Amino acid sequence: MKFGVVVFPGSNCDQDVIYVLEHILGQEVVRLWHKDHDLQGADFIILPGGFSFGDYLRSGAIARFSPIMQEVVRFANNGGYLMGICNGFQILAEANLVPGALLHNENRKFICRNSYLKVATTNSMLTRLANPDRLLKIPVAHGEGQYFAHEDTIKLLNDTDSVLFRYCDANGDMSSESNLNGSIGNIAGVCNAGRNVFGLMPHPERAADPILDNQDGLIIFESILGMVNA
């Protein structure tokens, strides 16, 4: 599979995701500058994490108007696969490619720590190989990660099995203390109605290299590829 990783001014997780795809998973990756208009034939586009345009106005609010987003929107509307991680998720929400919005964390603090996640569905390209009985430990690092949507949208997401991940604690408990940023329904990741656009706040690329002693994020990339990297 050929991956395209979009780089905006202020992206800072592009190289991490490229490293995982190329060196851990042996995939072909092209780096796409935000001013480009050509997705270079990529089969799967990733908007990586970071602080595009310094998070001015709102995280993702300016990047959403970068020239390449015209192509990205067209690609997604034609069924192309697209994943936004953290700032990438914020850009997808600003572009209305996934439902909902990412607000400032409830405690108004930047949160940088491991999160524990429940895989809410295996009915998605990102989670199809995951074991729903096993929690994932994946780092988060964000100031604006509180998922919010109108209650009708939340109902629709639940009814259509479109919530991918929910925050919990190390025991799988979903009480309010385990909801690290105050997201509605502990939502940490969602997909769109077409199930081809995915957004998540945790950083699976930061939990994929054996040297880090935590490869819980790898199952997301392996699910995308439809194969376990033995």
Ligand X SMILES: NC(=O)CC[C@H](N)C(=O)O
| Residues designated catalytic | 86, 203, 205
Q: Whole-angstrom Cα distance, residue 126 to residue 169?
A: 21
In angstroms, the first-to-last Cα distance of the chain is 17
Half-sphere exposure in the Cβ direction for 165 (13 Å, CA): 33
State which residue, 49 or 99, has the beta carbon closest to ligand X: 49
Q: Give the nearest residue (CB) to ligand X.
A: 49
Per the DSSP assignment, residues forming a β-bridge with 119 are: 165
DSSP one-letter code for 101: E
**CB 139, min distance to ligand X, A:** 9
**Binds ligand X (CB under 6 A): choice among 4, 80, 145, 189:** 145
Contact between 142 and ligand X (CB under 6 A)?
A: yes
Name the segment binding ligand X (CB under 6 A); options: 23-31, 34-42, 129-137, 140-148.
140-148
**CB 107, min distance to ligand X, A:** 13
Does residue 191 sit in helix, strand or coil?
A: strand
**CB 142, min distance to ligand X, A:** 4
State which residue, 34 or 142, has the beta carbon closest to ligand X: 142
φ, ψ for residue 112, nearest 5 deg: -130, 100
State which residue, 51 or 129, has the beta carbon closest to ligand X: 51
Instruction: Considering only residues 157 through 186, tell me which ones interact with ligand X, judged by CB under 6 A.
Output: none
Binding residues for ligand X, rule CB under 6 A, total 12
Q: DSSP string of 3-66?
A: EEEEE-TTB-SHHHHHHIIIIIT--EEEEEETT----TT-SEEEE--B-GGGG-SSTTTTGGGS
In this structure, are residues 17 and 48 in contact, taking their beta carbons and an 8 Å threshold?
yes
**CB 54, min distance to ligand X, A:** 9
State which residue, 37 or 113, has the beta carbon closest to ligand X: 113
Q: Whole-angstrom Cα distance, residue 40 to residue 162?
A: 29
Instruction: Considering only residues 34 through 93, tell me which ones interact with ligand X, judged by CB under 6 A.
Output: 49-51, 55, 59, 86-87
Per CB under 6 A, residues contacting ligand X are 49-51, 55, 59, 86-87, 141-145
